[in-house]
Amino acid sequence: MFATSLCQSVGRYPLPHGIWKGEQRVCARIEATELGLDIRFVVTNITNGSAEHIYDTLYCARGQMENLIKLHKSQLASDRTSCRAPLANQMRLILHTAAYWLMLDLRDNIPKTHALAVAEFATLREKLLKIGARVVETASRIRLALATACPQAGLFRHLAGALQPAGP
């Protein structure tokens, strides 16, 4: 695999109302693999910084943020604001955001070598949250009795230790 980045200043481009504003740069990323060329480029008016910095740090971070917003909407149903009262919709969005943070924290604490470390939230819900267990609650602890054939038992033990708050 061969990858290279380059940046070229290409002159002035008109804005939608025919206004000419500043000089634009084209930052391109070209990757050659056995499957063929993968050419991506960004047109920007950022004057400082290398092409690698503009593409890798700014452009790819923006794409990752859009992916996280899509994950928030599609897999946690946070776009369902069907109540008539705006405060009820706001509260619903706050609860969905709290659920997002919990799921993100859960996924971040899964060991990187495990298959679920990069899983989507829907998969985590299916494999870790929607399971049958017997809950035994005592004064000092809560125990989950999983089935003997539970494939994620080791992961549950790891997550219980990883998510437990540190003592004083």
pLDDT at 96: 85
72-84 average pLDDT score? 77
What is d(CA 89, CA 97) in angstroms, rounded to the nearest whole number?
12
- What tokens were used for 156? 């549950």
Query: pLDDT (tens digit, 9 = 90+) per residue, 92-131?
Result: 888 888 888 888 899 999 999 999 998 888 889 888 888 8
DSSP state at residue 118? G
Tell me which residue of 81, 80, 76, 82 sits closest to 96, measured CA to CA.
76
pTM over 0.95: no
Check pLDDT > 90 for residue 160: no
With a CB cutoff of 8 Å and minimum separation 6, the contacts of 133 are 144, 145, 146, 147
